[in-house]
Amino acid sequence: MLKLGVNIDHVATIREARYRGLGHGEPCPVAAALAAEAAGAHGITAHLREDRRHIQDRDIQRLREQIKTRLNLEMANAPEIVSIALKLKPEIVCLVPERRLEVTTEGGLDVVAAEKALTGTCRKMNDAGIEVSLFVAPDPAQIDASARVGAQFIELHTGKFAEDFYPAASGKRQAEIELQRLIAGAKQAHALGLQVNAGHGLNCENLPALFAVPHLVELNIGHSLVSRAVLVGMGNAVREMLAVMKNYPA
């Protein structure tokens, strides 16, 4: 069954818009995570950014203490955050680019350029019992490098697919091209022994098209769920998404 990881960063984005620096305020990302779990989410994802623009250290600590499913900590491969992760012990970390230099042309992590550093971080995480996922574009060289550095998962960057999905942006043909790249990337990763997640820009409208991509284990979805939650509540937003995800071919 295709799993749903709910990214609650933007709950904190709303809170920080009013309460930045105050150490309290609403809405609470931990409450949102618990509501998502109660509605059937399989995991919670949060990104502790070096600039702390949304999720704060206290949020991560409370998520670790209170959620019952899996915590996926999104993070840069930066010494401060690596050391927080090793203490926090999320079930999995997803390494993402935060600085321009870490980004490939398609917007994922440049695993090829950072192979040595990422190999070291993967080893440290795995030694601490933490699985590692790398957020990469569907680029054959990046996927090969992801297997070499010792990651257990890749998360395929679906941002371009999501952008191209709406014809006004760049036309149907573009979306088809990106979909074919995602399909090839998932097959390549699977053949290399990597498990395959996907995320960025996914919503109830574009998911059915994405389901042509094989071998998907988990989707990480944030913005569309938090947006929908503003209108119908987090529980209903998660249930709606899970109902769409049931159609992923087993």
- Is 200 tagged catalytic? yes
Cβ closer to ligand PXP: 11 or 145? 11
Q: What does the binding site for ligand PXP look like in residue numbers (CB under 6 A)?
A: 7, 9, 47, 74, 94, 96, 135, 155, 199-202, 220-224
CB of 159 to ligand PXP, least distance (A): 7
CB of 42 to ligand PXP, least distance (A): 14
CB of 68 to ligand PXP, least distance (A): 21
DSSP lists the bridge partners of residue 132 as: 93
CA 36 to chain centre: 15
Catalytic option among 47, 155, 157, 218: 47
The CA distance from 140 to 186, in Å, is 10
The CA distance from 181 to 102, in Å, is 21
Cβ closer to ligand PXP: 185 or 250? 185
The CA distance from 13 to 50, in Å, is 15
CB of 158 to ligand PXP, least distance (A): 8
Cβ closer to ligand PXP: 22 or 36? 36
**18 membership: H or E segment, kind and range:** helix 9-19
- Is 74 tagged catalytic? yes
Yes or no: say if 21 and 45 are a contact pair by the CB < 8 Å rule. Answer: no
Catalytic option among 37, 74, 102, 218: 74
DSSP lists the bridge partners of residue 109 as: 103
Cβ closer to ligand PXP: 77 or 224? 224
| Eight-class DSSP state of 213 | S
Q: Determine the straight-line distance between the first and last CA of the chain, rounded to whole angstroms.
A: 6
Which residues are annotated as catalytic?
47, 74, 200
